[in-house]
Amino acid sequence: MDSIQKTDNFVFQTYLRQGKAFVKGEGSFLWDEDGKKYTDFLAGIAVCGLGHCHPKITQAINKQASTLVHVSNLFYTMPQADLASKLCEKSFADRVFFANSGAEANEAAIKLARRYFQKKGDKIRFKIITMEQSFHGRTMATLSATGQKKIKEGFYPLLEGFSYVPFNDIEALKNEIDETVCGIMLEPVQGEGGIIPADPQFLKAVRELCNDKGILLIFDEIQCGMGRCGKLFAHELYGVTPDIMTLAKALGNGLPIGAMLATQDAAAGFDYGSHATTFGGTPLATAAALEVVNIISQETFLEQVREKGRYFKDKLVKLKEKHSRVTDVRGEGLLLGMEIELEKDKDAAFFVGKLMKKGFIINGIQDKILRFAPPLIIEEKDIDRLISALDSLL
Ligand SMILES: Cc1ncc(COP(=O)(O)O)c(C=O)c1O
């Protein structure tokens, strides 16, 4: 049996997979088992920000893998301590809780927002308002937080205490506030929902509202953070800071790691025993992530992301001007989306398949949006090649 047959026979059929099995990755490129080379404009869904098998990350993994991999959070380890202090140094936060995925980081944030008030004796504050079209994960609490109906089907009843308002609509948000609200949770740039950036005025108004009402503001930067939008954290584009922020995806450049960062005040919601996970912050994952943060947080690196993002977006906008079926181009940095009008029987997957045949990896979201989230080290000449492939397809 080949890898496709074996996977289809033995792995849960929850993912619609494409193409051949990949066997190798280097920088912005992937190779399949037939030796065909692809240029990667997806980076494992915004995970391999530094590209595949970045030498410094590989070196950090190798060194740590041969020294100490796991001891549990009953003990101290230096890589975890170093990563936590580095993340705090580079952000608004004072404390970090380590998890293993984005959903788990968001679970931690949801639990922290509730416990923050319950610990103070404020037991009626438990509700979290999130945005329509948001995506926060697939565990029961994060699915409940997610503002997209279609992925909730079959899982009701969901967790109580979530409500949803249209993204970028401050009046709708104000109308939803009452004395039961403990948190507002949003992605500064929505990813899965269709690459939709927050409106700067909206984000500022949300911060003010949270200050006025004593509500915790939670930013989910699992997809838009870690340099993806041209700043280490996407909220820096807006000059608005949250009380709690979640990270995952690109934090480990492929090693599973999630993190919840919080101010000292918000972090006081958790005490010894309030929350835990066996694998969170292993020496292996944190040693890799520390190296990732060291590289991505350099201003020269981030400036290059912004430059390439502008270059890429300009080219996409030119395609829009040329082809009437392109209805929108949007996004920040190297998290870009292109909305297209398709013939009746086709969706974005049609374009994804055609591009894959031409040796490019992208993906489609919300049926009609092409998402581009290449490694942040992608070169302009590779962007040019994708643009001309897209041009001929359009
Ligand atoms: C914004 C956002 N939050 C949370 C998640 C969930 O992360 P994970 O798949 O690691 O659980 C994702 C994943 O796509 C995401 O994009």
Q: CATH number of the domain at 268, please.
A: 3.40.640.10
Domain-embedded: residue 383: no
Residue 343 has pLDDT above 90, yes or no: no
Q: Ligand 1 centre and the CA of 324: distance in Å?
A: 32
Peptide bond into 157 cis (omega under 30): yes
Handedness of CA 174, 129, 233, 376 (dihedral sign): negative
Of 40, 220, 243, 382, which one is the catalytic site residue?
220
CATH of the domain at 350: 3.90.1150.10
The CA 198 to ligand 1 mean position distance, Å, reads 18
Judge whether 204 lies within some domain: yes
Query: For the chain, how many structural domains are there in total?
Result: 2
Is residue 202 among the annotated active site residues? no
Whether 353 and 218 share a structural domain: no
Q: Is residue 77 part of a domain?
A: yes
Check whether residue 312 and residue 253 sit in a common domain. Answer: no
Ligand 1 pocket: which of 133, 135, 277, 371 to mutate (most atoms within 8 A of CB) = 135
Percent of the chain past pLDDT 90, that is, above it, reads 96
- 322 plus 222 within the same structural domain: no
* Residues 342 and 228 reside in one and the same domain: no
> Is pLDDT of 344 > 90?
no
Ligand 1 centroid from CA 223, angstroms = 7
Residues 292 and 349 in one domain: no
User: Has residue 72 got a pLDDT over 90?
Assistant: yes
289 and 313 in a single domain? The answer is no
Instruction: Please give the pLDDT value at position 30.
Output: 98
Q: Is 191 in the pocket of ligand 1 (CB under 6 A)?
A: yes
Q: Is 31 among the domain residues?
A: no
Q: What is the pLDDT of residue 303?
A: 98
Give the Cα separation of 383 and 394 in Å (integer).
Answer: 16
Q: Within this chain, do residues 61 and 178 fall inside the same structural domain, yes or no? A: yes
Q: Which range (15-19, 34-38, 212-216, 260-264) has the least confidence?
A: 15-19
Q: Does 15 fall in a domain?
A: no
CA distances from 349 to 270, 324, 339, 366 (A): 43, 19, 13, 10
* CA nearest neighbour of 58 among 96, 94, 24, 108: 24
Q: What is the pLDDT of residues 129-159, one digit of tens each?
A: 999 999 999 999 999 999 999 999 999 999 9
Gap from CA of 249 to ligand 1 centroid (Å): 7
Task: With cut-offs at 50, 70 and 90, classify the pLDDT of residue 68.
Answer: very high
The whole domain housing 326 covers 303-371
Residue among 41, 135, 219, 360 flagged as catalytic: 135
Name residue, tokens 């599973």.
Answer: 256
Assign 1 a pLDDT band (cuts: 50, 70, 90).
Answer: confident
**Is the domain of 281 the same as that of 307?**
no
Note if 36 is an active site residue: no
pLDDT digits (tens, 9 = 90+) for 85-138: 999 999 999 999 999 999 999 999 999 999 999 999 999 999 999 999 999 999
Query: Is residue 25 situated within a structural domain?
Result: no
**Stretch 161-183: mean pLDDT, rounded?**
98
Q: Are 155 and 203 in a shared domain?
A: yes
Does residue 324 surpass a pLDDT of 90? yes
| pLDDT at residue 342 in the model | 85
* Nearest-10 Cα torsion for 217, 285, 257, 335: 90
